[in-house]
Amino acid sequence: MNETFSLGRIAGVRVGLHWSVLVIVVLIALALARGRLPAAHPGHSALAYCTLGVLSSLVFLASLLAHELAHAIVARRNNVQVDGITLWMLGGAARLRSEAPTPGAELRIAAVGPLTSALAGGVFAGLAVGLDALHVSGLVVEAVAWLAGINIVLALFNSLPAAPLDGGRLLRSFLWWRTGDRLRATRGASAAGRALGWLMVATGVAGVLFAGNFSGMWGALVGWFLIVTASAEARQAQLRGVLNGIPVSRVMTRVPVSAPSSVTIAEFLAEAPFDRYRHAAFPVLAADGSVAGLVTVDLIDHVPVPDRTTTTIGDVMRPLPGVETAGPDDMVMDLLPRLDASEQGRALVLDEEGHLVGIVTRADISRIVAWLNTTGPTRR
């Protein structure tokens, strides 16, 4: 979830908003201004309902932010790097760059979020009681009471033992501590996350179909998000487990078939040695043997046939700055996210002097993961 607007840094943590956060702000403001507030205290002006609805919605956003900030701050104290926090339609996400080093750290990072929400709920509840005793307008008391309730609901929901909720992380830290096996613990929490997700989807859809309750769609949406995220976390953990400690040099294709930048497309196609047909992309070498870029069959194919005698490989290749590169000793696990994000799905492997030593594709890594999953870690 990439941020759309930045709110700068709070307590040293980058905070941003994704545009979809506007959806919850508007929905909550509407639900309060059109529903709950006039129902509980009729007879006030539309402006009063509206103002309180929007204000409560913004304070709710601030309490979401407090929840995520608590995660981020405790994460940093436990030596986990934090990229930042983004608030979006379904809540907040603190982006942690690495995993918690121990089950205890995982427990502290996860638990502090719901605790913060519960504390906020308690403070708002106390405030509501206090304001009521001071005979402040019942409308204001109602809004503050709503903030108390929603924060307590948030604390309870987030404590459900299912990934990627905070309760799922607590479950994971417990399983990890019990078994000493982080991967197995992640699988357990992820399975619980998918089960809860499907339950929420089924309940939400049933609510819409049988009771005409359209707010059930919201629950179904959150459920779907849980399923997708929990599955992705399990896959990621599986990969991390299998690829742990494996350098790029062990998965790359050595001495790849390359193309000189000066030959024309026609020449390149005419003299094709047959082993070239096994590849879809070729490192391009300049006249002095240095790496100039990468050319794919697709790029070549886009050159109209009449132009192929005058266009060189160098003209159509993707020059080096736009191509992913890696060192032979880099970790495959670190290269993988870059490959996933890159258009070509491959990286050139260059040694310290910048000489081409190999090429590695997403498919190479998938094949090796499949093999390692089959042969098991003992035979590695």
Enumerate binding residues for Zn ion (CB under 5 A).
113, 166
Of residues 3, 68, 233, 324, which has the active-site annotation?
68
CB of 112 to Zn ion, least distance (A): 8
| Nearer to Zn ion (CB atom), residue 92 or residue 314 | 92
CB of 174 to Zn ion, least distance (A): 17
CB of 177 to Zn ion, least distance (A): 20
Instruction: Judge whether 3 counts as a catalytic residue.
Output: no
CB of 343 to Zn ion, least distance (A): 34
Q: How far is CA 295 from CA 24, 161, 229, 310, 323, in A?
A: 46, 49, 35, 17, 10
38: preceding bond cis by omega (within 30 degrees): no
Cα 163 to Cα 203: distance, rounded to the nearest angstrom: 19
CB of 85 to Zn ion, least distance (A): 11
| Nearer to Zn ion (CB atom), residue 113 or residue 161 | 113
CB of 166 to Zn ion, least distance (A): 4
| Nearer to Zn ion (CB atom), residue 113 or residue 197 | 113
| Nearer to Zn ion (CB atom), residue 166 or residue 364 | 166
Cα 12 to Cα 18: distance, rounded to the nearest angstrom: 19
Name the residue with the smallest CB distance to Zn ion. Answer: 113
| Nearer to Zn ion (CB atom), residue 93 or residue 221 | 93
| Nearer to Zn ion (CB atom), residue 143 or residue 150 | 150
Which residues have a catalytic role annotated? 68
